[in-house]
Chains A and B, each alone.
Chain A
Amino acid sequence: MSFLDLTALTRSYGPVRALAGIDLAVEAGTRTAIVGPSGCGKTTLLRLIAGFEAPDSGRIMLDEQTMADGAAFVPAHKRGIGLVAQDGALFPHLSIADNIGFGMPRGEAGRTERVAELAYIVGLDKAILKRRPHELSGGQQQRVALARAMACKPRLMLLDEPFSALDTGLRSSMRKAVAELLENAGITTILVTHDQAEALSFADQVAVMREGAFSQVGTPRDLYLKPKNRMVAEFLGDAIVIPARIAGGFAQCSLGRIAVDSADRRDVARIMLRPEQVLLKRTSSEGMSGTPDMLFAEVTEMEFAGAVCTVAVRLLNNPDPPDAAAIGSTPLILKKPGIEAPAVGEVVRVSVAGTAHVLE
Chain B
Amino acid sequence: MVAQADSMTTGFAASPPRARRRLPWITAAAVLVSALALVPLAFIIWIAIQTGWATTWALVVRPRVGELLVNTALLVLLTVPVCAVLSVALAWLTERTDLPGARLWSLLAVAPLAIPAFVHSYAWVTMLPGFHGLPAGVLISTIAYFPFLYLPVAASLRRLDPALEDAAASLGLGPARVFLRVVLPQLRLAVCGGSLLVGLHLLAEYGLFVFVRFDTFTTAIVDQFQSTFNGPAATMLAGVLVACCLALLAFEMLVRGEERYARVGSGAARLRPPSRLGRMTLPALALPLLVALLSLGVPLVVIARWLAAGGVAVWRIDEISLALGQTLFLALAGGLLATVAGIPIAWLSIRAPSKLQRMLEGLNYTVGALPGVVVALALVTITVTVMLPLYQTLVTILIAYALMFLPRAIISLRASIAQAPIELERAAAGLGRPPMRALWATTIRLSAPGAAAGMALAALGITNELTATQMLAPNGTRTLALAFWVYSGEIDYAAAAPYAAIMVVLSLPLTFLLYAQSKRMAGR
Question: Interface residues, chain A, CB within 8 Å of chain B?
Answer: 47, 50-53, 75-83, 85-93, 102-103, 132-134, 138, 141, 145, 148-149, 151-152, 154, 158, 165
Query: Are the C-beta atoms of A89 and B262 separated by less than 8 Å?
Result: no
- Which single member of B164, B170, B175 contacts A91 (CB below 8 Å)? B164
Interface 0/1 of B185-200, CB less than 8 Å to A: 1101000000000000
Instruction: State A215–B168 Cα separation when bound (angstroms).
Output: 33
Query: Are the C-beta atoms of A92 and B263 separated by less than 8 Å?
Result: yes
Query: Are the C-beta atoms of B264 and A90 separated by less than 8 Å?
Result: yes
Known: A89-B163, A93-B261. A77 touches B172 (CB 8 A): yes
Instruction: State A128–B267 Cα separation when bound (angstroms).
Output: 25
Neighbouring B residues of A145 by C-beta, 8 Å: 167
Query: Are the C-beta atoms of B182 and A83 separated by less than 8 Å?
Result: no
Query: Are the C-beta atoms of B171 and A149 separated by less than 8 Å?
Result: yes
Q: B62 within 8 Å of A by Cβ?
A: no
- Which single member of A82, A87, A93 contacts B170 (CB below 8 Å)? A82
Neighbouring B residues of A79 by C-beta, 8 Å: 170
Neighbouring A residues of B185 by C-beta, 8 Å: 91, 93
Interface residues of B in 175-213 (CB under 8 A from A): 175, 178, 181-182, 185-186, 188
Query: Are the C-beta atoms of B265 and A52 separated by less than 8 Å?
Result: no
Q: B101 within 8 Å of A by Cβ?
A: no
Interface 0/1 of B357-393, CB less than 8 Å to A: 0000000000000000000000000000000000000
Query: Are the C-beta atoms of A52 and B267 separated by less than 8 Å?
Result: no
Query: Are the C-beta atoms of A103 and B260 separated by less than 8 Å?
Result: no
Can you list 21 A-B pairs, Cβ within 8 angstroms, ordered by A? A47-B166, A77-B172, A83-B166, A83-B167, A85-B166, A87-B264, A89-B265, A90-B264, A91-B164, A91-B185, A92-B264, A93-B188, A93-B259, A93-B261, A103-B171, A103-B173, A134-B260, A134-B262, A134-B264, A149-B170, A149-B171
Neighbouring B residues of A85 by C-beta, 8 Å: 163, 166-167
Neighbouring B residues of A82 by C-beta, 8 Å: 170-171
Query: Are the C-beta atoms of B267 and A76 separated by less than 8 Å?
Result: no
Q: B107 within 8 Å of A by Cβ?
A: no
Instruction: State A134–B265 Cα separation when bound (angstroms).
Output: 8
Query: Are the C-beta atoms of A86 and B265 separated by less than 8 Å?
Result: yes
Neighbouring A residues of B188 by C-beta, 8 Å: 93
Known: A77-B173, A87-B265, A165-B267. A102 touches B168 (CB 8 A): yes
Nearest A residue to B262 by beta-carbon distance?
A92
Neighbouring B residues of A47 by C-beta, 8 Å: 166
- Which single member of B166, B175, B186, B264 contacts A141 (CB below 8 Å)? B264
- Which single member of A50, A81, A87, A102 contacts B266 (CB below 8 Å)? A87
Q: How far is the CB of B397 from chain A (nearest CB, A)?
A: 45
Instruction: State A83–B171 Cα separation when bound (angstroms).
Output: 8
Q: How far is the CB of B162 from chain A (nearest CB, A)?
A: 9
Query: Are the C-beta atoms of A83 and B186 separated by less than 8 Å?
Result: no
Neighbouring B residues of A152 by C-beta, 8 Å: 171-172
Neighbouring A residues of B161 by C-beta, 8 Å: 89
Known: A87-B267, A88-B264, A92-B263. A148 touches B171 (CB 8 A): yes
Neighbouring A residues of B523 by C-beta, 8 Å: none
Dominant secondary structure of chain A at its interface with chain B: loop
Q: B63 within 8 Å of A by Cβ?
A: no
Known: A85-B166, A165-B267. A92 touches B260 (CB 8 A): yes
Neighbouring A residues of B265 by C-beta, 8 Å: 86-90, 138, 141, 165
Nearest A residue to B188 by beta-carbon distance?
A93
Known: A102-B171, A152-B171. A93 touches B166 (CB 8 A): no
Known: A91-B164, A93-B185. A77 touches B169 (CB 8 A): yes
Query: Are the C-beta atoms of B174 and A77 separated by less than 8 Å?
Result: yes
Neighbouring B residues of A75 by C-beta, 8 Å: 169, 174
Query: Are the C-beta atoms of A83 and B266 separated by less than 8 Å?
Result: no
Interface residues of B in 240-263 (CB under 8 A from A): 259-263
Instruction: State A292–B340 Cα separation when bound (angstroms).
Output: 88
Q: B24 within 8 Å of A by Cβ?
A: no
Q: How far is the CB of A30 from chain B (nearest CB, A)?
A: 20
Q: B17 within 8 Å of A by Cβ?
A: no
- Which single member of A90, A92, A158 contacts B186 (CB below 8 Å)? A92
Query: Are the C-beta atoms of A89 and B167 separated by less than 8 Å?
Result: yes
Neighbouring A residues of B16 by C-beta, 8 Å: none
Interface residues of B in 428-468 (CB under 8 A from A): none
Nearest A residue to B186 by beta-carbon distance?
A93
Instruction: State A154–B266 Cα separation when bound (angstroms).
Output: 26
Q: B283 within 8 Å of A by Cβ?
A: no
Instruction: State A102–B260 Cα separation when bound (angstroms).
Output: 19
Instruction: State A283–B298 Cα separation when bound (angstroms).
Output: 96
Neighbouring A residues of B174 by C-beta, 8 Å: 75, 77
Q: How far is the CB of B159 from chain A (nearest CB, A)?
A: 12
Query: Are the C-beta atoms of A92 and B261 separated by less than 8 Å?
Result: yes
Q: B52 within 8 Å of A by Cβ?
A: no
Q: B130 within 8 Å of A by Cβ?
A: no
Query: Are the C-beta atoms of A83 and B170 separated by less than 8 Å?
Result: yes
Neighbouring A residues of B11 by C-beta, 8 Å: none
Closest 6 CB pairs of A and B: A87-B265, A103-B171, A89-B163, A83-B170, A76-B169, A89-B167
Known contacts A77-B169, A103-B173, A138-B265; 17 additional CB pairs below 8 A are A50-B170, A52-B166, A77-B170, A77-B172, A85-B166, A86-B265, A87-B163, A87-B264, A89-B161, A89-B163, A92-B259, A92-B262, A92-B264, A102-B181, A103-B172, A149-B171, A152-B172
Q: B278 within 8 Å of A by Cβ?
A: no
Neighbouring B residues of A141 by C-beta, 8 Å: 264-265
Query: Are the C-beta atoms of A53 and B267 separated by less than 8 Å?
Result: no
Nearest A residue to B168 by beta-carbon distance?
A102
Neighbouring A residues of B261 by C-beta, 8 Å: 92-93
Nearest A residue to B264 by beta-carbon distance?
A133
Nearest B residue to A164 by beta-carbon distance?
B267
Q: How far is the CB of A52 from chain B (nearest CB, A)?
A: 6
Neighbouring B residues of A87 by C-beta, 8 Å: 163, 264-267
Nearest A residue to B257 by beta-carbon distance?
A93
Q: How far is the CB of B191 from chain A (nearest CB, A)?
A: 13
Query: Are the C-beta atoms of A52 and B169 separated by less than 8 Å?
Result: yes
Q: B273 within 8 Å of A by Cβ?
A: yes
Instruction: State A77–B267 Cα separation when bound (angstroms).
Output: 25
Neighbouring A residues of B273 by C-beta, 8 Å: 53
Instruction: State A75–B163 Cα separation when bound (angstroms).
Output: 16
Neighbouring A residues of B171 by C-beta, 8 Å: 77, 82, 102-103, 148-149, 151-152
Neighbouring A residues of B259 by C-beta, 8 Å: 92-93
Q: How far is the CB of A116 from chain B (nearest CB, A)?
A: 18
Instruction: State A267–B172 Cα separation when bound (angstroms).
Output: 57
Instruction: State A334–B194 Cα separation when bound (angstroms).
Output: 63
Nearest B residue to A52 by beta-carbon distance?
B166
Neighbouring A residues of B163 by C-beta, 8 Å: 85-87, 89
Instruction: State A227–B167 Cα separation when bound (angstroms).
Output: 35
- Which single member of B172, B173, B266 contacts A80 (CB below 8 Å)? B172
Q: How far is the CB of A207 from chain B (nearest CB, A)?
A: 21
Instruction: State A47–B165 Cα separation when bound (angstroms).
Output: 13
Instruction: State A102–B164 Cα separation when bound (angstroms).
Output: 12
Nearest B residue to A90 by beta-carbon distance?
B264
Q: How far is the CB of A152 from chain B (nearest CB, A)?
A: 5
Q: How far is the CB of B255 from chain A (nearest CB, A)?
A: 14
Centre residue among A77, A79, A138, A158 by max chain B CB count within 10 A: A77
